[in-house]
Amino acid sequence: MTSGARLDTNWRFRGFQVLTLENVLLRVDVIPELGGKIYNFIYKPFDRNFLWHNPRIELRKVPLGANYNDNYAGGWDELFPNDAAVEFQGESLPDHGELWCQTWDYEVLKQDSEQVSIRLWRYGSVTQTLMEKSITLRRDEPMLRFHHRLTNLSDRELFFLWKLHPSLAVGRDHRIDVAAKKVILADLGPMFPDRFAGKVREYIWPTALESDGRQHDVRAVLPPESKVAEVHFCVELVDGWCALTDTRNKVGFGLSFSKELFTTVWVLMLYGGWRGLYHVILEPCTAYPRDLQKAVQTGRVGHLRGGETLETDVVAVAYSNRASVSKIGADGEVEA
């Protein structure tokens, strides 16, 4: 069994280099060549990989501008500066942004038994930006610590949609918790059938109420035979955290982040209704809706002046002995 913290940079999986950060509680696998994707987040006491893998799409390298959904193998990506492909400020921004399919550079910052840290970075191909993230795993901690830096290298204002995108494996006993009030249900057309048949467009978390009085507790994950596919924009956050818990085994995964930067949590609920896939994505994001142009018009969008840099911290934590979550602090402390 691993003693202390450990970093391994010598493993390859399906031809790609993998950076493995590990301690007695966690094993995390990062793939720099695939957008700095985190492919595995394994909570070792339960042998539980929280991250979902697409059963029909293998890890693959694709060019900038490729269709995201048709190539999404699962795991945790960094999406920037947009979601839906869009013409914006005279540029064509590719599907789900410019970072997820590009190779990130990396360096080892620290490597000893008390702590391992790596830094990854990528210059924008379309935007004049530099995205950096440092990832740290400390001895005996069930959490991964991120420090992000985004720099606008141009002399004009940058508008962006920046989204953390961990795709999470689910089951019938799973529960979603978000520190939100108002929620807007996205209308994504007939390819994404929602459970409300168009009868609900806004609600107060966690209960969606139809006009006939029927209530839906959206925290409860539906079974795959529900044939539901929905995106819920949690647009009024009271705190910066979200979580997914296996209520039967009392084990879960959560994120803590700055709600001043990531002002919205997108909750993608795929319960068999889109391509037969079954998973949930908890997506802290700087903007909504999907269309960057529309997000700018509403004023709900990230922005940086020319030459500016923003920095923020995120914590991803594994926890046990809890069937629900009421808070995750900035230090990763989880409260039931």
CATH number, domain of 74, equals 2.70.98.10
Residues in the chain: 336
| Amino acid letter, 179 | A
pLDDT score at 199: 86
Six-digit token string for 321: 């002995």
Element (H, E) at 19: strand 16-22
Q: What tokens does 8 get?
A: 């391994």
Peptide bond into 289 cis (omega under 30): yes
70: closest CA among 57, 55, 86?
57
3-state secondary structure of 111: strand
Beta carbons within 10 angstroms of residue 304's beta carbon: 17
By residue range, what is the domain housing residue 119?
6-335
pLDDT in the model for residue 197: 83
Q: Which amino acid is at 265?
A: V
**Could you count the other beta carbons within 10 Å of the beta carbon of residue 247?**
18
Task: Give me the pLDDT at residue 198, please.
Answer: 79
What stretch of H or E contains 86? Answer: strand 86-88
Is the Cα torsion angle 173, 174, 176, 177 positive or negative in sign?
positive
- DSSP type of residue 21: E
pLDDT along the chain (336 residues), means of 10: 87 97 98 98 98 98 97 98 96 98 98 98 98 98 98 97 98 98 92 89 95 91 97 97 98 98 98 98 97 93 98 98 98 96
| Domains contained in the chain, number | 1
Distant-in-sequence contacts of 111-115, Cβ < 8 A, 24+ apart: 111/7, 112/4, 112/5, 113/3, 113/4, 113/5, 113/6, 113/139, 114/4, 114/5, 114/138, 114/139, 115/5, 115/139
Q: What secondary structure does DSSP assign to 91-135, as a single string?
A: EEEPTT-SSTTSPPEEEEEEESSSEEEEEEEEE-SSSSEEEEEEE
Of residues 296, 291, 271, the one with CA closest to residue 281: 271
Confidence at residue 1, expressed as pLDDT on a 0 to 100 scale = 53
CA atoms within 13 A on the CB side of 220: 11
Q: How far apart are CA 104 and CA 100, in angstroms?
A: 9
Is residue 271 one of the residues assigned to a domain?
yes
C-alpha 36: how far from chain center: 13
In a domain, 1, yes or no: no
